[in-house]
Each structure stands twice: as structure tokens, then as C-alpha cells.
């Protein structure tokens, strides 16, 4: 992992401090940026989100879905965790902590905003940093690509209904127009642009390897835009949230606690399932890490669209960025030290059965 990405949590923390300082020193500038809206979309944040999302969308190869039938166990675990478990446990933790545990310490009537931010994080599985976590655990890159590609297809159709369902269950009004617009703006459009860019880059390649090399070189060149877009978004969000945070600094810790419980709990569930099903480690580790990490760029964008740039829901999604990187690095460390729990190859499963029956 490049040094800049390895210490992403540090850069996010510095961006938070810069945002807090900007909100105090130049509140007029922050207010001006917040006022640049069209409908429910903040134009500045929309551009920054596109910078974040586009590089990862170029890396998605939908032709890999043709191999979806190969080694289905890891894929089944990932999809079950991402779409049948994770959004609902995140919503449950949000209700538990912000309607009960932390209720005396937050402003009356704001619990729904905290819960909504957590729901948005839980319903958006990661599509970019997954490749980094897979690489660090010596995961199978082709299998990881299949998982990410299928997740993106499902996200286009399932993200909005799941978010709407969970917001409705928690008695938060659901502006469907804004939710669907957010999915179109931050998933469908950049995904379409990524697919077209990928086709153009690979056109005329002498081989698939050459085409992939062109795509990798292109994404490497534009990837700094993704990180810069993320950090700039954090600066703006915390510029708006400055007074709330400075007045009540414990709000960050209150948000972080259920996110930490969710992350480690989801990883433990997926990793245990992979071990029990005797999935090879090079598939088991990435499939557990995919279920754990979040597509926080999408969560931030939708939170802003639904609740506003200076909302608590948007703040929750940004804290998710701060929490995720150190958590994922700790899980990579753990996965690399438990390789002996899993068979090395798929064939190891088949050859072990006769011995178990003898």
C-alpha cells in the first residue's frame, strides 16, 4: 500500500482539524460553499465525490461476472453479509446506542440523524479499498474483482430500497426523489463513465494483460484526485460541524463506538463462516474484509443529499472514514497471522475428505 494511503487516517484527522479551523477563521467562505446548491445537491461536494468515485469505477471489470459460478462459497458469504446482515445490524446498533445508551448525551430529537448516518454506512459495501485489503492479505485478485463487480451491480438496484426500508423502520421520513437522485449521481453516472473509460483504454490491446496494464496505469495517475476529493470533502463537512464538535467533542467518540463494534463483529462473523466452510485463505480473508469495509464516499454523498451538508448524518458518515482505515489495517494484521486456520487451495478441501472418512 502506498505510504499516503497507509496513513489515510492521519490525513483525515488533519483534514478534520483544518475543517474545524476553517469554520472558525472563515465562516463566510464555508457558508458560501454550502450555498452552491442545485435542488438538494451541493455542487462543490458533488464534484469532489465524483473525483473520489470515478477512479475506482474504472477498475471494475464486468466481464469478470462470467466467472461468478467458480468457487461460490466466498461469494455467498460476502453477499449474505453485505446485503442480508450488515445493513440491519448497523441500524440495530444505531437504535441501541442513540435512542438508549447515548440518549442522555445528545440533543433531543437528533437520534434519527445519528441512526440514518449509520444506516447509510451499513448499506454501502466498499468497492475501492477492498483491492488494497485483498492485496495486503495475499488474496486472489481475480476473485476479489468478481465480488466487487457483483456488489456494484447489486448496489445500483438494492441500495435505495434497503436505505428507504431501514429509515422507514426507524421512523425517519424518506424523500425518495433525493435518495434515487443520489444513487444515479454517485453510482450510476460514475459507473457508466468508468465502464466507457475502461472500454476506451482497453480498445486495440494486443492481449487482456496489456489492456489491464493500461487501466492500471490510468487509475494510478488519477488516484490522487480520489484522495484529495475525500480530504477536501472532510474539510468542508467539519467546517460546518465545527461549533457542534467544539462544544461537544465527545460526539466523535460516541459515533465511533458503535462503528467499531459493527466492524469487528461483521468481520468475525464472515471470517468464522469462511473457516467453518473451509474456504481457502486467499478467498476467505478478502471476503471477510469486503463485508467489513464501507463505500463511505457514497454514504457521505447521500447523507448530504438527504439531510444537508451540516447535518449530523453527514458527520456520522465522515467519522466512518476516520474509523475505517485503522480498523481495516488491524484486521489485515489479524488475517495474515491466522492463515493456518484455512486450507491454502480449493483442492485442499477435496483431498482432505477421504482422510476424514478413513
Q: What is the CA radius of gyration of the chain?
A: 20
> Is position 353 within any domain?
no
The answer to whether residues 164 and 179 touch, using CB atoms and an 8 Å cutoff, is: yes
> Is position 57 within any domain?
yes
> Is position 94 within any domain?
yes
* 14-64 tens-digit pLDDT: 888 898 898 888 888 877 887 777 766 777 877 887 887 787 678 777 776
Q: Per-residue pLDDT for 179 more than 80? A: no
| CA distance linking residue 298 with residue 227, whole number of Å | 14
> Is position 354 within any domain?
no
List Cβ neighbours of 308 (8 Å cut-off, separation of 6 or more): 314
- Of 70-74, 79-83, 84-88, 246-250, the poorest mean pLDDT is in 246-250
* 263-275 tens-digit pLDDT: 999 999 999 999 9
The pLDDT of residue 39 is 62
| CA distance linking residue 50 with residue 298, whole number of Å | 10
> Is position 355 within any domain?
no
pLDDT band for position 3 (50/70/90)?
low
CA 308 to centroid of chain Cα atoms: 20
CB atoms within 10 A of CB 77: 26
Domain limits for position 177? 3-340
Total structural domains in the chain? Answer: 1
Between strands 41-42 and 37-38, the pairing is: antiparallel
The answer to whether residues 120 and 163 touch, using CB atoms and an 8 Å cutoff, is: yes
* 202-260 tens-digit pLDDT: 988 878 788 888 988 988 888 777 778 878 877 887 787 677 677 777 888 999 999 99
> Is position 350 within any domain?
no
C-alpha cell at 67: 466467472
CATH code, domain carrying 133: 1.20.1530.20
CA 319 to centroid of chain Cα atoms: 12
Q: Per-residue pLDDT for 356 more than 60? A: no
List Cβ neighbours of 273 (8 Å cut-off, separation of 6 or more): 77, 81
> Is position 88 within any domain?
yes
Write phi, then psi, for 42 (nearest 5 degrees).
Answer: -80, 120
The pLDDT of residue 346 is 62
> Is position 265 within any domain?
yes
Amino acid at each position: 500500500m502506498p505510504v499516503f494511503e497507509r496513513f489515510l487516517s492521519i490525513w483525515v484527522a488533519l483534514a478534520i482539524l483544518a475543517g474545524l479551523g476553517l469554520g472558525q477563521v472563515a465562516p463566510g467562505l464555508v457558508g458560501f460553499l454550502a450555498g452552491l446548491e442545485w435542488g438538494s445537491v451541493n455542487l462543490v461536494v458533488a464534484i469532489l465525490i465524483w473525483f473520489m468515485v470515478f477512479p475506482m469505477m474504472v477498475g471494475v471489470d464486468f466481464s469478470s461476472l462470467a466467472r461468478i459460478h467458480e468457487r461460490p462459497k466466498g461469494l455467498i458469504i460476502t453477499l449474505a453479509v453485505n446485503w442480508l446482515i450488515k445493513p440491519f445490524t448497523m441500524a440495530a446498533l444505531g437504535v441501541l446506542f442513540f435512542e438508549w445508551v447515548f440518549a442522555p448525551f445528545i440533543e433531543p430529537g437528533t437520534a434519527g440523524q445519528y441512526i440514518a448516518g449509520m444506516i447509510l454506512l451499513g448499506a454501502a459495501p466498499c468497492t475501492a479499498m477492498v483491492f488494497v485489503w485483498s492485496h495486503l492479505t495475499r488474496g486472489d485478485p481475480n476473485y476479489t474483482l468478481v465480488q466487487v463487480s457483483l456488489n456494484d451491480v447489486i448496489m445500483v438496484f438494492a441500495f435505495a430500497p434497503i436505505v428507504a426500508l431501514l429509515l422507514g423502520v426507524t421512523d425517519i421520513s424518506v424523500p425518495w426523489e433525493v435518495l434515487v437522485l443520489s444513487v444515479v449521481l454517485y453510482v450510476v453516472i460514475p459507473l457508466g463513465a468508468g465502464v466507457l473509460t475502461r472500454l476506451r483504454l482497453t480498445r486495440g490491446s494486443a492481449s487482456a494483460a496489456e489492456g489491464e496494464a493500461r487501466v492500471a496505469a490510468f487509475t494510478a495517475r488519477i488516484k490522487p484526485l480520489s484522495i484529495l476529493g475525500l480530504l477536501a470533502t472532510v474539510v468542508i463537512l467539519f467546517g460546518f460541524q465545527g461549533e457542534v464538535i467544539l462544544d461537544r467533542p465527545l460526539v466523535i467518540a460516541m459515533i465511533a463506538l458503535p462503528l467499531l463494534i459493527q466492524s469487528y463483529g461483521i468481520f468475525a462473523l464472515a471470517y468464522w463462516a469462511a473457516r467453518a466452510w473451509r474456504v481457502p485463505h486467499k478467498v476467505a480473508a478478502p471476503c471477510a474484509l469486503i463485508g467489513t469495509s464501507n463505500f463511505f464516499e457514497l454514504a457521505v454523498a447521500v447523507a448530504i443529499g438527504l439531510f444537508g451538508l451540516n447535518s449530523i448524518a453527514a458527520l456520522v458518515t465522515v467519522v466512518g472514514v476516520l474509523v475505517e482505515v485503522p480498523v481495516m489495517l488491524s484486521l489485515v494484521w489479524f488475517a495474515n497471522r491466522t492463515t493456518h486456520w484455512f486450507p491454502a487451495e480449493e483442492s485442499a478441501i477435496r483431498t482432505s475428505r477421504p482422510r476424514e472418512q478413513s
